Structure formats: structure tokens, C-alpha cells
A = this chain, B = another copy of it.
Amino acid sequence: MAQVSTQFMAERIVGYLGPRGTHSEEVALCLYRGERGRFIPFASIDAAIRAVETGEVMECLVPVENSLEGSVNITLDTLAHEVNLFITKEMVWPVRHNLLVKAGTKHINVVVSHPQALAQCRYYLARFFPGAELKSVESTAEAAYLVASGAKNHAAVASLRAGEIYGLETVAADIQDNPNNYTRFIVLGRQQAEGRSGRRKTSVVCQINGERPGSLCDILQEFARRNVNLTKIESRPARTGLGVYIFFLDIDGDMEDDNIHAAVSAVKLKSLWFKNLGSYPVYAV
């Protein structure tokens, strides 16, 4: 039965932060391995998210947090202020940077990549290529494209997938300085995720009355007294004035768990504004 229903399932159309060869594309390909699907690159995170809202794609995969750089604010702000979508999946991805060149390259005078990737390989590059100039471009994939297009004595810091797409050779793999470099990606859709199996998380966002001492504490107590663990709390501007915030809360478990449902209901009552971003399964590589 399962096989039959798969066969007749509509093709999945997934947007991601492009261009082709980005970490986002790598993650999308891994997450949907073995499924029929089309993957559409978007020029920016908010364009990918809005394309779900308008129906141009069925879902999108975007980064939401990096273990070194913190939250991806445009993802959080767009989710809170601009669209009404749900998180339907989460995937944690180890960030691996690689030094890629065009076949036959003997000397590396310029290393090109996204500024964040260059920063994350700073010590490696200073040690092994102390004389090389570092050049910033819009994405790691664009760096691979530039090197493939024949920029002389250039190397790119990019994903192995980008090397594959643009036919580059790997000089060195895993050149990132800090091994604790992970990015959390989320999939966004117009409906809530179904199912209950495996590890699940729930995300909500709320605004509370910040002028009263202890109002955030009040909210957190609703979780603590029910033994519900928050995996993350993040404040972002409410955009109505300096010092006015909304809070993103990530909860360990599913909204249908009794204690989580009770805690979230209590928080909703105490909030000036509240948005449920859904419960979803958590995947790791």
C-alpha cells in the first residue's frame, strides 16, 4: 500500500537558498533522497520563504541557526512578521568547507568565498596560504563558479557539491577551524507536519508585557513547572520601538504531548501576541 501511494504522490517542489551548489542545496538533496522532487534555487532567504506563501513552491528549506554565528535573523523575522507558515522538518547539518581549484592549478594566490566561510577557515588559510589574498563574494557556490570560469591562480572555499557541479578538484577537505560548526535548517510549509514518531520539537513565538518585572519569568515557569524543556529562547525586535521584543521559543516535544499543550495554552493566555509555528520531526545526518 505504501508503495502505491508513493507512486501517485504529486511531485514535490522545494525552494532553497541558491544558487546551485550551496549548503542549502546539499541539505535538500540529502533530506529528500529517494523522493521525486524538483528543487528551485532562490536568490535570498526571504524570497524562498515568500514563494511558499504564494504557492510558487510547496515548501522551502532555509537555514535558521548556526552554532558559531547564531540565529539567521531574516528567517526568524520573516516567519514572525511577514508570512503565515509552519515549520515541518528540522535538519542539523555539519558545515564542511573545502578548498577547491580548477584542474591543473599550481599556485594559489587568491582564495575566494562568502565572507563567513573565509572567516571560519581563517587559521587554516593563514597557516597554509599565508600570502594569499582573501576575496569575498555573495555565496560559496558563486566562489566555485568563479574559479571554474577560469580566474587564474584562484581557489574557492565551498561545499563538495559545488565542486561536483563546477568540475573542480579538492585540494583539501574539511578545512574549517572549529569542529563545532553546525547549521540548523528548517523546512517551511503551508500546513502543519503530520505524524508523531521520532524526536519532535515545537516552535512558538510570542510577545509579552515587558514593562512588568518577571513577565518573562512567568512565561518560562509555565514550562518549568510541567517539566517541559526549552531548547532555545531568542529575542527579536517587535519593530514597534526600542526595547520591545518578541520571543521565539523552541520546545523539546510535540504540541500533542499533554504537558506541552497545557504549558503552551497558558503562555498563549499570558501573551499580548502569539503565533504557533508547529510541531515537526528533527533529522540529523
Contact present for A68 and B239 (CB under 8 Å)? yes
**Interface bracket on A:** 35 or more
Contact present for B237 and A70 (CB under 8 Å)? yes
- Which residues of the other chain, B, contact A243 by a CB distance below 8 angstroms? 67, 231-232
- Which residues of the other chain, B, contact A221 by a CB distance below 8 angstroms? 214, 217, 221
Question: A233 on the interface (CB 8 Å rule)?
Answer: yes
Contact partner of A65 among B69, B239, B242, CB < 8 A? B242
Question: A191 on the interface (CB 8 Å rule)?
Answer: no
Contact present for A67 and B232 (CB under 8 Å)? no
Question: A224 on the interface (CB 8 Å rule)?
Answer: yes
Complex Cα gap A67–B225 (Å) = 33
Binding site for B on A (CB under 8 A): 65-70, 73, 92, 178, 180, 182, 184, 210-214, 216-218, 220-221, 223-225, 227-237, 239-245
Known: A180-B239, A233-B235. 17 other contacts (CB 8 A): A67-B241, A68-B239, A70-B235, A70-B236, A180-B241, A180-B242, A213-B224, A213-B227, A213-B228, A214-B220, A214-B225, A217-B221, A218-B224, A220-B220, A232-B235, A232-B245, A233-B233
